[in-house]
Amino acid sequence: MNTKQIIFTEAHKAALLERELKELAADEVLVDTEYTVVSGGTERANLMGMSNAGGNKFPKALGYCGIGRVMEIGSAVTGVAVGDRVLIYHGKHAKYNIRPEKDVTKVWDESIPSLDAAFVVIATMGLGGVRKLELELGESAMVMGLGLLGIFAVQFCRLNGANPVIAADLNPARRELALQLGADYAFDPSAPDFAEQVKAVTKGKGVRAIVEVTGVSAAMKQALECAAYMGRISLLGCTRVSDCAVDYYQQVHRPGVKLIGAHNFVRPKVESYPHHWTHQDDCNAILDMISTGRVQVAPIVSRVVSPTEAPAIYDQLCDDPAFPIGTVFDWRDIR
């Protein structure tokens, strides 16, 4: 059986190619994909051949966030059945995905649109970054970087009772979206008085809890400048280039700022515990919050395109700093 799949063939080049599927193992599930979501930061880093994203080793195949219907299950699979709608974790941008059972999550509520549910896997990453901050009701919070992870993190800060919720991004459209989705303030971090603006809305104290999700070293330094005494910073973004010095004594050690590694892989595999939930539990929590209207996805969807447009989409991802964050591939008509 063959599948159509988006492949990064070389730096800056993507193509929709045909690939042969492997045999299904006992613990695996074959999924007919409906939608996959482009993760701009991770995919751009891989496509550009950055050193901590696989370098210049091509071809590469990405696409860790999607949804589809189960077509076939292995002999040892018990949690899902043929016909079930499932989230696909760390699959590929492909018409058919084969994943271990542990990497699919059943969508129990059929009323949730597949286009909304397609974003859940990437939303869990924003949620993990917020959980690790151990927010308390009434604490100030800030999200630096309003890509997909950051936009969802803004909503989760609000749902966790943060007050105020501050958003920061260079892109004015993303700042407006953050305000629409729950931020109280949205600031441009390139402003000379950025730190002063942040402190002005936190009674001069700085921010108690910060999610840094740009992956840019200079933004990390700004986060430290905005942090309150004994504040916490969740390091959710993948820092690709460490090119900005930090005064650890003055900005971390002396003020008692806590830096928390928040990579998505830093989570329990089997049982959730406070502030550290499993991937499956976070997926189910977000699905429930979408179902009840607590988490919004529709305003985040920028465009839904055919995978046949992949070469142009990835050209834009490489070259356009304002690449639309909610870009989705629709696989339903691909044969």
Per-residue pLDDT of 125-136, as tens digits, reads 999 999 999 999
Joined together, the tokens standing for residue 150 give 């950051």
Residue 32 lies in a domain: yes
Q: Tell the residue number behind the tokens 């003020």, with chain if given.
A: 255
Among 208, 241, 261, the domain boundary falls at 261
C-alpha count within 13 angstroms, C-beta hemisphere, residue 279: 20
How much is the pLDDT for 14? 97
Looking at the structure of the chain, the number of domains it has is: 2
**185 and 83 together in one domain:** no
**204 and 223 together in one domain:** yes
**194 and 104 together in one domain:** no
**Quick one: which H or E segment has residue 116?**
helix 114-117
Residue 227 lies in a domain: yes
First-to-final CA distance of the chain:
12
Among 214, 219, 185, 189, which Cα is nearest to 202's? 185
**133 and 244 together in one domain:** yes
Q: Using 50, 70 and 90 to split pLDDT, how confident is the model at 203?
A: very high
Residue 299 preceded by cis peptide, ω within 30: no
What's the whole-number mean pLDDT along residues 162-185?
98
**18 and 45 together in one domain:** yes
Radius of gyration, CA atoms only, the chain: 20
**253 and 305 together in one domain:** no
Residue 289 lies in a domain: no
Residue 92 lies in a domain: yes
- Residue 32 or 245, more confident: 32
Is residue 48 within 8 Å of residue 54, measured between CB atoms? no
170-176: which pairs have CB atoms within 8 A and are 24 or more residues apart?
170/321, 171/146, 171/321, 171/322, 173/322, 174/146, 174/147, 174/325, 175/146
**107 and 134 together in one domain:** no
Task: Please state whether the predicted TM-score (pTM) of the whole model is above 0.85.
Answer: yes
What does pLDDT average to over the chain? 95
Residue 244 has pLDDT above 90, yes or no: no
Among 229, 261, 293, the domain boundary falls at 261
Residue 243 lies in a domain: yes
How much is the pLDDT for 98? 98
Among 230, 261, 292, the domain boundary falls at 261
Give tens-digit pLDDT for 280-298.
Answer: 999 999 999 999 999 999 9
**319 and 305 together in one domain:** yes
Give tens-digit pLDDT for 43-56.
Answer: 998 999 887 777 78
Q: What is the CATH number of the domain that holds 205?
A: 3.40.50.720
Interatomic CA distance for residues 147 and 159, integer angstroms: 19
Residue 292 lies in a domain: no
Q: Diameter of the chain by CA atoms?
A: 62
How much is the pLDDT for 215? 81
What secondary structure does DSSP assign to 198-220, as a single string? HHHTTTTS-EEEEEE-S-BHHHH
Q: Is the dihedral of CA 92, 97, 98, 102 positive or negative?
A: positive
Length of the chain: 335
Among 136, 121, 132, which Cα is nearest to 286's? 121
Instruction: Kindly state the percentage of the chain with pLDDT values over 90.
Output: 87
Interatomic CA distance for residues 149 and 164, integer angstroms: 19
Residue 100 lies in a domain: yes
Q: What is the CATH number of the domain that holds 316?
A: 3.90.180.10
**142 and 240 together in one domain:** yes
The stretches of 132-245 forming alpha helices (DSSP H) are 148-159, 172-180, 194-200, 217-226
Q: Which residue range(s) make up the domain with 136?
A: 123-261
**110 and 127 together in one domain:** no
**256 and 130 together in one domain:** yes
∠ Cα 235 239 240 (to 5°): 165
How much is the pLDDT for 216? 84
Residue 91 lies in a domain: yes
**207 and 222 together in one domain:** yes
How much is the pLDDT for 54? 74
